[in-house]
Chain A
Amino acid sequence: MCGIVGIYLKSKKFEKSLGGMLSKMLVSMESRGPDSAGFAIYNSDKNKIYKYSICLNGMSFEKFKKEIKNKVKITNIEKNSDHVILKSIEKPNKIIPILEDFSTISLVGYGKSIEIFKQVGSPSKIVKKFNLDNFSGTHAIGHTRMATESAITTDGSHPYSTGEDECLVHNGSLSNHNNLRRKLKKNGSKFSSDNDTEVAAGYISDSLKKRNLKQTLNKGLNELDGFYTFIAGTHSGFAVLRDEIACKPAVIAETKDYVAISSEFQAMAHLPNVNNAKIFEPEPGIVYSWEK
């Protein structure tokens, strides 16, 4: 099943309350996905600092902090439950190999604006655990998972991020992910799980090197086989795509201040002024995107 949610702010009015808005959306999608939950929140610092979102997987924060400080220049390091946001001016091609040398931790996302948190457990526990209500930002994407094709683990939780400031959440399942994974690996993509969505995220990252997000998703219609509603995020916004059979639901609410998307309307019922929003279902096989 799974639940997906997203908010893109068109004005600055709700930037401070973005976390709170997303938090309620995630909790109301608990019935669609009680196994694990996660969210990606974009908050542009407008400087050259990279943010690395890391899941400690049981490693102690103090130990990690001590070890990483010996290896790279760090601007700031902050713990949030079992996740860490590490800020550094060092470029990803330098830092990622260093992080990969740690056997326990996993890098769940990186970029100049994205922060990702995801963990096993019910959405209501996850949003409290990471204090999502206190986050601000420009746009955000979330997911509640009912595991079907791979195990209930942090690695199996969404969002998946396979490129700088990129992320993907998915409701559905893909049938050609093994073939596609092999192809992408040959081209140099790396995967950390057996999950089908991670392959779709890798596909999108690979394609984004040559195309924009809208073109990428249009191309994906022919190459990603299965059923899906996707929300794909980048530093500048997000895009939504449903497969052409449209088995998986999605509803969009648009006002002058924001665009919200979720699997079911009830996830948006609490949003400000939603009863005057333009509410519609994204049509199958059509890419909808909102970008700054």
Chain B
Amino acid sequence: MILDLKKLKLRSVNEKLQNIDRKKNKRDFIISNPEGNHAICAGLTENIDVTIKGHVGYYCAGMNQNANIIVDGNVGTGVAENMMSGKVHVKGNASQSAGATAHGGILIIDGDASSRCGISMKGIDIIVKGSVGHMSAFMAQSGNLVVCGDAGEALGDSLYETDIYVKGKVKSLGADCEEKKMSKKHKTKLKELLKKAGSNIKPEQFKRYGSARKLYNFNIDNVSNY
């Protein structure tokens, strides 16, 4: 079913997708002419497939649950922010704060993501086939961030328990983020994530970064790092 945003109002398109009638069994949707609109496909809850043909604005697929959303273009700030489950696949580049605060599901970005990718992520898996900008995985709590390109400044600043895997160069690590040993368990997990994103890069080519766990509780010796 094609939903043309040149003819339909954004709100009516979102309402339709948010209120799917399970009995009618329509599960495939195409959104055409998104023209950079904000909040397209925000708040979906059903297991449906939506393909957006073109570039979108802010908060695309925000709060997603169960839906499988493909963006055939670039996305603005906060794609899949606060996603709970489901899958979001961006074929172009993403702006800042991709996957911010998301609790679950998987976000795949074929191009680059700019600054603050995975900020405060809480369980989502993010795979970026290009590079990420500065302050990525800032205060990230759980889940995995996989970067096949390079990472910008202050990667993983004030990190909790997210695993970060980077294949390329890391410009600098943030406070309390350090390189970690890549164990068999991590390689298996990384391989599985790369497979989900359709990438056949070998896990051995990545380095793993995680929390040094020194900033969890207040310690006067670390005052300059807070």
Q: Are the CB atoms of B55 and A265 closer together than 8 Å?
A: yes
Q: Are the CB atoms of B55 and A281 closer together than 8 Å?
A: no
Q: Are the CB atoms of A264 and B96 closer together than 8 Å?
A: no
Q: Which of B31-76 contact A (CB under 8 A)?
A: 35-38, 54-58, 74, 76
| Distance from A115 Cβ to chain B, minimum over Cβ atoms (Å) | 29
Q: Which of A231-266 contact B (CB under 8 A)?
A: 246, 249, 251, 264-266
| Distance from B69 Cβ to chain A, minimum over Cβ atoms (Å) | 18
Residue A215, interface by CB 8 Å: no
**Cα separation A267 to B35 with both chains bound (whole Å):** 9
Q: Are the CB atoms of A280 and B35 closer together than 8 Å?
A: no
Q: Which of A174-221 contact B (CB under 8 A)?
A: none
**Cα separation A162 to B134 with both chains bound (whole Å):** 34
Q: Are the CB atoms of B93 and A279 closer together than 8 Å?
A: yes
**Residue from A246, A264, A268, A283 in contact with B76 in the complex, judged by beta carbons closer than 8 Å:** A264
Q: Are the CB atoms of B93 and A246 closer together than 8 Å?
A: no
Residue B162, interface by CB 8 Å: no
Size of chain B's interface in residues, with CB distance under 8 A? 20
Residue B142, interface by CB 8 Å: no
Q: Which residues of B are found within 8 Å of A279, using beta-carbon distances?
A: 55, 74, 92-93
Residue A284, interface by CB 8 Å: yes
**Cα separation A251 to B74 with both chains bound (whole Å):** 11
Residue A269, interface by CB 8 Å: yes
Q: Which single residue of chain B is at the shortest CB-CB distance from A269?
A: B35
A264-B36 in contact given A269-B55, A279-B55, A279-B74 (Cβ < 8 Å): yes
Q: Which residues of B are found within 8 Å of A275, using beta-carbon distances?
A: 54-55
Size of chain A's interface in residues, with CB distance under 8 A? 16
Q: Which residues of B are found within 8 Å of A270, using beta-carbon distances?
A: 35
Q: Which single residue of chain B is at the shortest CB-CB distance from A28?
A: B36
Residue B77, interface by CB 8 Å: yes
Q: Which residues of B are found within 8 Å of A280, using beta-carbon distances?
A: 93
Number of A-B contacts (CB under 8 A): 46
**Cα separation A267 to B76 with both chains bound (whole Å):** 13
Residue B114, interface by CB 8 Å: yes
**Cα separation A251 to B95 with both chains bound (whole Å):** 9
**Cα separation A151 to B55 with both chains bound (whole Å):** 35
Q: Which single residue of chain A is at the shortest CB-CB distance from B111?
A: A280
Please report whether the interface of chain A is mostly helix, strand, loop or mixed according to DSSP: loop
Q: Which residues of B are found within 8 Å of A284, using beta-carbon distances?
A: 115, 133-134
Q: Which residues of A are found within 8 Å of B115, using beta-carbon distances?
A: 246, 284
- Interface membership of chain B positions 93-118, coded 1 if the CB is closer than 8 angstroms to chain A and 0 otherwise: 10110000000000000000011000
- Interface membership of chain B positions 139-156, coded 1 if the CB is closer than 8 angstroms to chain A and 0 otherwise: 000000000000000000
**Residue from A246, A265, A281, A283 in contact with B57 in the complex, judged by beta carbons closer than 8 Å:** A265
| Distance from A2 Cβ to chain B, minimum over Cβ atoms (Å) | 16
| Distance from B21 Cβ to chain A, minimum over Cβ atoms (Å) | 31
**Cα separation A66 to B86 with both chains bound (whole Å):** 71
A281-B114 in contact given A249-B77, A265-B74 (Cβ < 8 Å): yes
Q: Which residues of B are found within 8 Å of A267, using beta-carbon distances?
A: 36
Q: Which single residue of chain B is at the shortest CB-CB distance from A275?
A: B54
Q: Which residues of A are found within 8 Å of B76, using beta-carbon distances?
A: 249, 251, 264-265
A249-B95 in contact given A264-B57, A265-B36, A265-B55 (Cβ < 8 Å): yes
Q: Which single residue of chain B is at the shortest CB-CB distance from A279?
A: B74
Q: Which residues of A are found within 8 Å of B95, using beta-carbon distances?
A: 249, 251, 281
A246-B35 in contact given A279-B74, A284-B115 (Cβ < 8 Å): no
Q: Which residues of A are found within 8 Å of B38, using beta-carbon distances?
A: 266
**Residue from B35, B93, B96, B133 in contact with A266 in the complex, judged by beta carbons closer than 8 Å:** B35
**Residue from A246, A268, A281, A283 in contact with B36 in the complex, judged by beta carbons closer than 8 Å:** A268
| Distance from A81 Cβ to chain B, minimum over Cβ atoms (Å) | 30
| Distance from A18 Cβ to chain B, minimum over Cβ atoms (Å) | 21
Q: Which residues of B are found within 8 Å of A251, using beta-carbon distances?
A: 76, 95
Q: Which residues of A are found within 8 Å of B92, using beta-carbon distances?
A: 279
A269-B114 in contact given A275-B54, A279-B55, A281-B95 (Cβ < 8 Å): no
**Cα separation A281 to B131 with both chains bound (whole Å):** 13
| Distance from B37 Cβ to chain A, minimum over Cβ atoms (Å) | 6
Query: What are 6 contact pairs spanning A and B, CB under 8 A?
Result: A246-B133, A251-B76, A266-B37, A266-B38, A269-B36, A281-B93
Given A265-B36, A269-B35, 8 more contacts at CB 8 Å?
A: A264-B36, A265-B55, A265-B74, A266-B37, A266-B57, A268-B36, A279-B74, A284-B134
* Chain A residues packing against B (C-beta within 8 Å): 246, 249, 251, 264-270, 275, 279-281, 283-284
